[in-house]
Each structure stands twice: as C-alpha cells, then as structure tokens.
Structure 1
Amino acid sequence: MRSSRIILLIAVIVVGMSHRSDGQGARPLAEQLRLAGVMPRGGLVYVQARDLSALMKMWLASTARDRFRKSSSFSVFSESRVYLKLQERKKDIETAVGVGLDESRLAELAGAASAVTIYDIGNLEMVFVTEVGRERAIATALFKQAPQFQERSAPSGVYYAREVSTDGGRLSQQFCFAYAGGRLIVTTTEGLMIRALANSASAGDDSMLQDVMATAGRARGFTAHEITMWLDQARL
C-alpha cells in the first residue's frame, strides 16, 4: 500500500510535467525506449523523459511546482512515516558522497534523453541514466567528488563507488556513478551498477527493454511522449 501511494505521487508529478508529443513521426519502438535497455530487470517503476534537461528547467520555473508543494496531498505525504524515512536515507547518502541530491542537482546532471528505474522504494534502490556529453558530465559536482570515491572495474567498464551506511547503521549499500557509451549512470547499489554497465555495452536478457516493449506493444499506435512511465502493476 505504501509503495502504491508513492507510485501515485510519482504519477501526479509526471502528469504535471508532461505535455503533448511534438508530432514527429514515430521511431522504432526499441529506439524510443532505448534507455530501458540499460536498466537491469526487476524494476518496479520505469520513467523516461525525452529531454530531462529542458523539463527540469521548465519544472523549476513553473507555478505548477509551487502549487504542488503547497497542495494538501503533498502536505499529508511529507508528514508520513515513509516520506520521513526516505528523507533520512537521502540525507545519509548526501553525507556519505558529499553532494546534495535535490532538484537543482538533478537539473545539473540531466542531459537530453533520461530515465530512472526504482527497484526498492524503502531502500532507495534505483538506477538513473542520462544521455549527456562527456565534457559536461565530468564538469558536474558529482564527478568532482570522484577522488573521494573508490575507482572500481567491472567487465564492462570503470565506475566510482562509495559505501553508505543508512537506517541507523542497519543497512549498508553503495552509491555509484560512471560514464559509459555517452551516458552518465548513477546507481544506489553496486550490483545494479555492474549490471547497468553490462547492459549499456550490450542490452541482453538482463535488461528491462523487452518487458517495457511488450507492454508498449499492446498499446495501439504507441509513441513515447515527453515523459513515459511503465509500472510492474503485479508488484504494487
């Protein structure tokens, strides 16, 4: 039930930020949903944006953002146990990595086509991928913290990792980031990073692409819009 409420809140934000397609001719489905090919399988919710950088600029400057934050729905949610727990966990991660993780940071990291997949809401297990030039990615505050991280190697590439202790020391996970294949990849567990790097090199059976495409394929005339959202409803 708690997961369902959080997913509903995500959906409200998605609707608030999205608008109609630009009317361009439909591209092949696999191309429209290509970032799902980077995501390891097992995600609960997948959200992709056609141009996250532009959307974040619009969102930060919009009156809809202010209305949402002042709404009764957000007020109730911000006082919930789930929200407070997530905020505590986010603060633990920020302290460990030395970088704030808020809307402004997302706007800084965001490139054009971008996506996020949530695997475990309570533990903040997620993967974020954005298509951005190497020079811009390296100039971000996150990459400037690289000397404070451990550089590690996986079969499909190099990544940076930092151990994070959360939930009062009861949970240990990793905050990782990498640049591969023209994409900045950020994960909150090392296992997800290793799998995402492998998918970035060559999307295979461990990627979410086929799952997301199967759902989209059942929608007649499907076209990815400014924001597209996929849910594993059976797990909600």
Structure 2
Amino acid sequence: MMKRFYFALAAMLLLGVLGACGAAVYTALQSSPPDNLSLASFAPQGALLSIESPDFKTLLKSWSSSQEEQHWLKSDNYTSFSHSRLFSRLGEAQDQFAATAGFPPDAQFLQQVAGGQSLFAWYDIGNLEFLYITRMPHGEAAKTPLLQMRDKFEERKAGDSSFFVRTKGDPAQTVAFAVHGDYLLLATREDLIANALQLMQQPVGATLQHERWYAEAVAAVKEQPGDLRMALNMTKIVPSPYFRSYWIQQNITELKQYSSALSDLYLTPESFREERILLATNPDKETTSADLAPVLGYLPQNIGVYRAQGQPTSASILHQFEDKLLSRNTSAYRDTHIAPGADLSTPIAGDTSNFEERIDETSVVVQPRAASLSQLQDLLAAAHPEAMLVFSSTGQPKTLGSETVFSPIHTAMVLTSSAGWNQAAWQQALSAALAPRLTIGKAGLAWQEHHHDNVSWVDLSGIHGLVLAIQGNVCVVASDEATLLLLLEASHHAASAPKKATLIAGFDHRSEREGFVRLTHLLDGSGSSAQSGGGDTPPFFSRNMASLSSTFQDLDAETFTESPLNNGVIHQTVVYQWRH
C-alpha cells in the first residue's frame, strides 16, 4: 500500500468532479488505437483543462487504501470543507446526477468506471461539464451500473457507434453512455460524447491534442508523460469567475502572464516529482536566472521554511525586511470581496473635555514609513544585490535555544552583492529604520560587537532584537543570535556547486510541524489540548491546517525550483520527499 500525498490530490479531484458533476457517457471502439496514443486525440476542442494518467485505476486504489484518506475524512480540515459552499454545490450536483441516472455517483461507482489509460477533460467550471475517457476491457465495462440501466435511456447514433442519453430535471441534467470495444467514455453533454465517438472513428485535426495552447505546452516538455499529467488553458481559466472565487492562492495577477501550463507527476516510493511548464503570454519578456548557491550555503539542514531569489529588486528586499525583521507586526486582514467602509462623519477639531492639550503648540509630525527606510533603500540600490535568502523557523530547542511560552518565529535574511557590504552603513540604516518605532533620539539603539570561533557579529541592544554579520560580499541579518549562529555554522559546510535558477524554495514539514501546531494553538487561544471533530467550524490554523498537516505527517519536506527556458517558457520542479 503506497501512502502518498499526490494520490490524494489526483483522486480527490477526479472523485469530486466525476462523482459529483452529474453525468456519464460510456463507449468503446471496434478497433483499438495503439496503447501509446494520447487520449487527447479523441477529446473535442474547447476544454479548459485535462488530466491524463496511464493507469488511473491503480492511482485511485492507492489513495482509497491509504491511511491518509482515512485520516483526512476524520480530520477537522474535512469537517471545515464539508461546511463550505463548494461542498454544498458539489452535493447538489451529485443529487442531480442520482435523480437523472437512477443511482448515486459515489466512491463505489468511481471504482467501477476507473480504467487504465484515462483522460478527464473539463469544458465548463460553472456548469460542471466534462468528458471522461478510459481504457477498460469489454467484460468489466458490462458490469457498470450505466450499461445495466441502458433501457431507461434513449439510444442515439454517432457514425457507426451507439450511445445512450437521458436528460432530466430543472435545470436539465444530461447523462449519456455507450459501450463498444475497449474504451469507456463519460460526459455531461450529448455533443461531447457524439464528437468523441466521431473522432475515434474518423481522426481529424479538430481535437484537444491539436489546440494551440495544448500542443505548445506538450512540445515544450522534454521528458515522457508522468504517472499523472495535467494541462491547463490559462487564457480561459483565469478570467472565469468560478476560478477566481475558489482559487485559494488568489494570485490572479501573477497567473495572467501565462497562456497555458502543463504539469507531469512522477511517482516513486520515496518521493513525488512534479515537472511544470508554463508558457508566457509575452514570450519576449526577459527572465534571468542567477547562481543561488552563495545564499543557499547558509541554509541549515532539515529545518525551517526558505525562499532564495535571484536578482531581487530593492522593493522586494525592503518588503521582506519589513515583514520578517523590522516590523514583525500582525498583518491586518482584508476581505477582497468586501468594499471598505466610508467614513462620512464630520471631523471635530477639539473637545470640551480635553484640557491637557495646548492649542498654541505645534503638533508632532509623524514621518512616513518611507522616510525611515530611505537609508536602507539607498544602501540596497547602490549595492545591486545578486541573490536573497529568506529563512523562517518555529524553532527547535536543540538548535535555536530554549523556547518561551510565546513560541517566537525565528527569521533571517541573507544577501549577496558583487560590490561587497559596509557594516557601518548597515548598522546606521537598520537603526534609522527602527528608531521611529522604538526610541527618541536613537537612545538605546546601540550595537555591541561579539567574537566566537573566528566569527564576528554585532547585535542591537534593547527590546527589538536584531543581529548582523558581514562576511565579504555576504550580509546576514537575523532576529536573534541563535539563528544567526545556526546560519553561519551551515555556511562552513556548504557545497560550492553552482545552482542556477530564478527561485529555489523549500519547507521542512517534519521539523516544523510540531512548532507550527504549538504556535497556532497559542495564537488561536485553543490550547494544546484542542480536540478534533464537533459540529462547529474549527479554528483555521490550530485545527483546520494542523489536522491537514497531521494527515500527511509522512511528508518530510518539499522543495521548489524555477528556471527560465527559451522563448518565454518557465520550468518549475517540485519534489515531495516522503519518510522511508
């Protein structure tokens, strides 16, 4: 039994769509095409996305028999999902299918219609319209509920092949099926199955395989198709209001720059490897990579969350400094679906009870944040940083010192520059950035120098801890001394091999899971003894996300690498490492 995370993603996607969408089409061919022929050559044009697998039945069986599925169905994450509008919408579609077809599209039905080589093509998100094609022996196909209930459906013809259609309900819901040879087709529209049957009998160029977005994405891939392949027509998907509502990342602006994408998943018992290809809408836009080895050499092993970026802009570096080291305040939540309220009240210049304020004294003018960051911005602009590493960790007592009840998040940033760094300029710029929030006249912002084992650094005294070390053309700034020493120690054992990329990121789930759960329990006020289950909506981080983390506790780590290829093509590799 393989217990793997991506089986969950693949099976849940197909189960949620195939089982709940409410349609099915069943057919096969007189003469079977070659085994290595992509089923996209039988899918009509117009699909938003497609998912292909050489053996969908094995993938589904691996997920259905895994401990992860059982744990997820009992988790707070699933409880929260079951209360969502999306879950309710899929439930309504499932009921519509049952009313039309005469049987429920449950997990048992999905197991019955899961064959070997398979393709799922989604044509409309809002109306849940899809086409499903799978290779299945004729004897197994005859056992499916659809074929056994064909007397309740109307028989139609597509060329020399017969298929069966039934439309019922308000709004109308269509279920259609047919059997012939070694292929099973499932769809929600009559025209999809009719066109697919025509393409199987008389192959022409008007197929999904010949659509420009699909053909260009496949042509950019150098490896053979993986155990699961997903192709996406980004030009059609991104503008969809359904996608914009349910896409949890909400990075619509970033996705607009791509016309299509393709992802291949390769499965082994030790790891999953996902190879992604993204085609830019503007292929002439230049994207450069950099050697990220100098900053990655400071990364501690088997701990934390990190992101290394080549050729970072001054604005992006300042944003990370503010977020990770300088401000470290709780971010204000803003619901992008709700317009901000307008203040229509009349401003009052004074109050009769305010006797302490002298109206003849000049009010203190609060300097904008940009003014206090100006020295740091000038320093970065003059140095032209080549690479940046951002590191965070919830902390391990054996590596980052004894933890307090507040469970702080330890953070650090590493910057490289061919021009080198001036330590005095860094101290002055950081003091200027912190002064407006901590002190008057820079009182208490004194830097103290330290030396240990041929390593030197300075730390900022006072209530806001900050530690700085300069090593040639590398600058390291950390939230505390233990984190800084951890990064400096890692640099002594770093490999020197170049790592050319635009972005390399990673997450050590095994080391961070316990600290994340402990921290989120404190933030949510739920306590460490919070229990799963119940009818209430669980706190998002301490129970919802924590239960998802526990479900996939065998996932050790994840790494992400992005590099540019020719003609505006972006290549991404994601590796999920599993516990042996």
Task: With the length of structure 2 as denominator, give the TM-score of the two structures.
Answer: 0.34
Tell me what 2:230 maps to.
Answer: 229
Return the offset for 1:66: 2.6
- 2:90 is aligned to 86
- Within the alignment, does 1:105 sit opposite 2:91 as a pair? no
Q: CA offset at residue 103 of structure 1? A: 2.3
The structural deviation recorded for 1:70 is 4.5
Partner of 1:217: 219
Runs of 4+ in 1 over 3 A off after TM superposition: 30-33, 67-78
Counterpart in the other structure of 1:161: 165
- Per the alignment, in what secondary structure is the counterpart of residue 96 of structure 2? helix
User: Does residue 43 of structure 1 match 2:44?
Assistant: no
> Counterpart amino acid of 1:14?
A
Deviation larger for 99-108 or 125-134? 99-108
Q: Corresponding residue for 1:204?
A: 204
Where does 1:18-167 land on structure 2 (aligned, <5 Å)? 32=36, 34-70=38-74, 74-165=78-169
C-alpha deviations, 1:50-96, integer Å up to 9, x for none?
Answer: 11122222111012223443455544443332331221022111121
The one-letter code of the counterpart of 1:110 is A
Q: Does 1:187 align with 2:187?
A: yes
Please tell me whether the aligned partners of residues 93 and 175 of structure 1 are also in contact (alpha carbons under 8 angstroms).
yes
CA offset digits 1:21-68 (Å, max 9, x no partner): xxxxxxxxx975611111111111101111112222211101222344
Q: Distance in 2 between matches of 1:32 and 1:116?
A: 17
Query: For residues 16 and 97 of structure 1, do their structure 2 counterparts lie closer, same or farther at Cα, with a shift above 3 Å needed?
Result: closer
- Cα pair 1:44 1:119 within 8 Å, conserved: yes
Distance change (3 Å), C-alpha of 1:213 and 1:57: same
Q: Percent identity?
A: 25
**Equivalent residue of 2:162, what SS?**
strand
**Taking structure 1 as reference, are residues 232 and 32 closer, same or farther at Cα in structure 2, changes over 3 Å only?**
farther
Amino acid at match of 2:103: V
With over 3 angstroms needed to count, the CA separation of the structure-2 counterparts of 1:42 and 1:62, relative to structure 1, is same
Between the aligned partners of 2:215 and 2:103, the Cα distance in structure 1 is 35
CA RMSD of the aligned region, Å? 2.5
Deviations 1:115-166 (A, max 9, x none): 111111221211111101112111212210111111111225210111132x
Give the CA deviation at 1:180: 3.6
Amino acid at match of 2:208: M
Query: In the superposition, relative to structure 1, how do residues 72 and 184 fare at CA in structure 2: closer, same or farther (>3 Å)?
Result: same
CA shift, 1:14, in A, is 2.4
Q: How much has 1:177 moved relative to structure 2?
A: 1.1
**Gap runs ≥5 in structure 2:** 1-5, 14-33, 238-580
In 2, are the aligned partners of 1:38 and 1:196 still within 8 Å (CA)?
A: yes
Query: In structure 2, how many angstroms separate the alpha carbons of the residues matched to 1:143 and 1:185?
Result: 12
8 Å contact from structure 1 (residues 32, 224) kept in 2: no
- Given that residues 116 and 135 in structure 2 are in contact (C-alpha distance below 8 angstroms), is that contact kept between their aligned partners in structure 1? yes
Counterpart of 2:172 in 1: which secondary structure? strand
Structure 1: gaps spanning 5 or more residues: 1-9, 18-29
Q: Partners in 1 of 2:179 and 2:188 — Cα distance?
A: 15
Q: Match of 1:217, as an amino acid? A: A
C-alpha distance 11-72 of structure 1, shift in aligned 2 (>3 A): farther
Deviation at 1:203, TM superposition (A): 3.1
Q: For residues 158 and 15 of structure 1, what CA distance do their matches in structure 2 show? A: 30
Q: Which has the higher contact order (CA 8 A, sep 6+)?
A: 1
Which of these two proteins has the greater Rg computed from alpha carbons? 2
Question: Which residue does the alignment assign to 2:364?
Answer: none
